Amino acid sequence: MIELRTPTQIEQMRPAGRFVASVLTALAQKAAPGVNLLELDALAHDMIREAGAESCYIDYHPSFGASPFGKVLCTSVNDAVLHGLPHDYVLADGDLLSVDFAASVDGWVSDSALSVVVGTPREEDLRLIDVTTRALEAAIAQARPGNRIGDISAAIAGVAREAGLSINTQFGGHGVGRTMHGDPHIPNDGRAGRGFKLQPGLVIAIEPWFLHTTDEIYTDADGWTLRSADGSRGAHMEHTVAITEDGPLILTARD
Whole-angstrom distance, CA of residue 188 vs CA of residue 220: 22
End-to-end Cα, the chain, rounded Å: 33
Listed in sequence order, the residues at least 6 apart from 47 whose beta carbon sits closer than 8 Å to its beta carbon are 19, 22, 23, 26, 53
Residues 99, 126: contact at Cβ < 8 Å?
no
Closest by Cα among 86, 82, 46 to 62: 82
Q: Determine if residue 174 is labeled as part of a ligand binding site.
A: yes
Q: Determine if residue 181 is labeled as part of a ligand binding site.
A: yes
Q: Determine if residue 137 is labeled as part of a ligand binding site.
A: no
Q: Determine if residue 207 is labeled as part of a ligand binding site.
A: yes
Q: Determine if residue 41 is labeled as part of a ligand binding site.
A: no
User: Where is the binding site for substrate, in residues?
Assistant: 83, 181
User: Where is the binding site for a divalent metal cation, in residues?
Assistant: 100, 111, 174, 207, 238
User: Where is the binding site, in residues?
Assistant: 83, 100, 111, 174, 181, 207, 238
